[in-house]
Structure 1
Amino acid sequence: MQHETEASLVGHEYEVEVGPVAHGGHCVARTEAGRVLFVRHALPGERVVARVTEGESTSRFLRADAVRVLDASKDRVEAPCPFSGPGKCGGCDWQHAKPGAQRRLKGEVITEQLMRLAGLTPEEAGWDGTVVPADGDKLPAGEVPAWRTRVQYAVDAEGHAGLRKHRSHDVEVIDRCLIAAPGVTELGIEKREWPQMASVEAIAASGSGDRQVILTPKPGGRLPIVELDKPVSVLRIGEKDKQVHPVHGRAFVRERADGRTYRVGEGGFWQVHPQAADMLVKAVMQGLMPRKGDMALDLYCGVGLFAGALAERIGDKGAVLGIESGKRAVEDARHNLKDLERVRIEQGKVEQVLPRTRIEEADIIVLDPPRAGAGKQTVRHLASLGARRIAYVACDPAALARDLKYFAEEGYKPVKLRAFDFFPMTHHVECVAILKPVAKEA
Structure 2
Amino acid sequence: MTDSPTAPVVELSVGPVAHGGHFVSRLEGRVVFVRHALPGERVRVRLTEHDDAARFWRGDAVEVLEASDDRREHVWAPADALAAHAAGRLPAGGAEFGHIVLPRQRGLKSDVVAEHLARTAGLDAADVGFEGVEAVPGEDADGLGWRTRMAFAVSAAGRPAMHAHRSDRLVEISGMPLATAGIQDSALWEVDLSGFERVEVAAPAAGGQLLVLLVPAEGTAPAAAQRQARRVAQGLGTDASVALLAQADGPAADGRGALQRVSGRTWLRETVEVAAPGAPYEYRVTGEGFWQIHRGAPALLTEAVLDIVAAAPGHRVADLYAGAGLFTRPLAELVGPSGAVLSIEGAPGTSKDARRNLHDHPQARIVQGRVERRLGPALAELPDAGGLDAVVLDPPRAGAGKEAVRRIAAAAPRSVAYVSCDPASFARDAAYLAREGYRLRGLRALDLYPNTHHVEVVGHFAAE
Decide: shared fold, TM above 0.5.
yes
Distance change in 2, residues 1:358/1:82 (3 Å):
closer
What per-residue deviation string (whole Å, max 9, x for no partner) do you get for residues 371-408 of structure 1?
A: 11111111122122221111000000000000000111
Equivalent residue, structure 1, for 2:190: 191
Q: Which moved more, 1:200-209 or 1:43-52?
A: 200-209
Equivalent residue, structure 2, for 1:70: 65
User: Could you list the runs of 5+ residues in structure 1 that have no partner in the other structure?
Assistant: 3-7
CA contact (8 A) 1:162 1:190 kept: no
CA deviation after TM superposition for structure 1 residue 208, in Å = 5.7
SS of the equivalent of 2:16 reads strand
Indicate yes or no: 2:20 matched with 1:21.
no
Equivalent residue, structure 2, for 1:357: 378
Alignment of 1:205-244 (within 5 A): 205-207=204-206, 209-221=208-220, 222=224, 223-224=228-229, 225=231, 226-227=233-234, 228-238=236-246, 240=248, 242-244=257-259
Indicate yes or no: 2:135 matched with 1:133.
yes
Equivalent residue, structure 2, for 1:431: 457
Letter in 1 for 2:113: I
Equivalent residue, structure 2, for 1:322: 343
Indicate yes or no: 2:403 matched with 1:388.
no
Q: Which moved more, 1:88-97 or 1:117-126?
A: 117-126
C-alpha distance in structure 2 between counterparts of 1:320 and 1:146, whole Å: 34
Equivalent residue, structure 2, for 1:115: 118
Greater share of residues in helix: 2
CA deviation after TM superposition for structure 1 residue 367, in Å = 0.4
Indicate yes or no: 2:78 matched with 1:83.
yes
Equivalent residue, structure 1, for 2:276: none
CA deviation after TM superposition for structure 1 residue 159, in Å = 1.1
C-alpha distance in structure 1 between counterparts of 2:248 and 2:345, whole Å: 25
What per-residue deviation string (whole Å, max 9, x for no partner) do you get for residues 162-204 of structure 1?
A: 2221112221111111101111112221222211111121111
CA deviation after TM superposition for structure 1 residue 314, in Å = 1.5
Indicate yes or no: 2:414 matched with 1:414.
no
Q: Which moved more, 1:247-256 or 1:277-286?
A: 247-256
RMSD of Structure 2 on Structure 1 (CA) = 1.8
Aligned pair count reads 427
Letter in 1 for 2:319: D
C-alpha distance in structure 2 between counterparts of 1:370 and 1:66, whole Å: 30
What per-residue deviation string (whole Å, max 9, x for no partner) do you get for residues 23-57 of structure 1?
A: 000100001x1010000000011111112101300
C-alpha distance in structure 1 between counterparts of 2:408 and 2:143, whole Å: 40
What per-residue deviation string (whole Å, max 9, x for no partner) do you get for residues 248-304 of structure 1?
A: 111111111241111111221100111000000000101111122100000010111
Letter in 1 for 2:80: G
C-alpha distance in structure 2 between counterparts of 1:393 and 1:144, whole Å: 22
Indicate yes or no: 2:255 matched with 1:253.
no
Distance change in 2, residues 1:351/1:103 (3 Å):
same
CA deviation after TM superposition for structure 1 residue 240, in Å = 4.3
Q: TM-score, normalised by structure 2?
A: 0.89
Letter in 1 for 2:452: T
CA contact (8 A) 2:186 2:239 kept: no
CA deviation after TM superposition for structure 1 residue 144, in Å = 4.1
Letter in 2 for 1:312: E
Distance change in 2, residues 1:320/1:208 (3 Å):
farther
SS of the equivalent of 1:269 reads coil
Equivalent residue, structure 2, for 1:5: none
C-alpha distance in structure 1 between counterparts of 2:379 and 2:455, whole Å: 35
C-alpha distance in structure 1 between counterparts of 2:423 and 2:118, whole Å: 11
CA contact (8 A) 2:31 2:55 kept: yes
SS of the equivalent of 1:123 reads helix
Alignment of 1:44-63 (within 5 A): 44-63=39-58
User: Could you list the runs of 5+ residues in structure 2 that have no partner in the other structure?
Assistant: 82-89, 250-256, 274-279, 381-385
Letter in 2 for 1:113: H
SS of the equivalent of 1:323 reads strand
Letter in 1 for 2:138: G
SS of the equivalent of 1:19 reads coil
CA contact (8 A) 1:208 1:256 kept: no
CA deviation after TM superposition for structure 1 residue 231, in Å = 4.9
SS of the equivalent of 1:106 reads helix
SS of the equivalent of 2:125 reads coil
C-alpha distance in structure 2 between counterparts of 1:117 and 1:138, whole Å: 34
| Percent identity of paired positions between Structure 1 and Structure 2 | 41
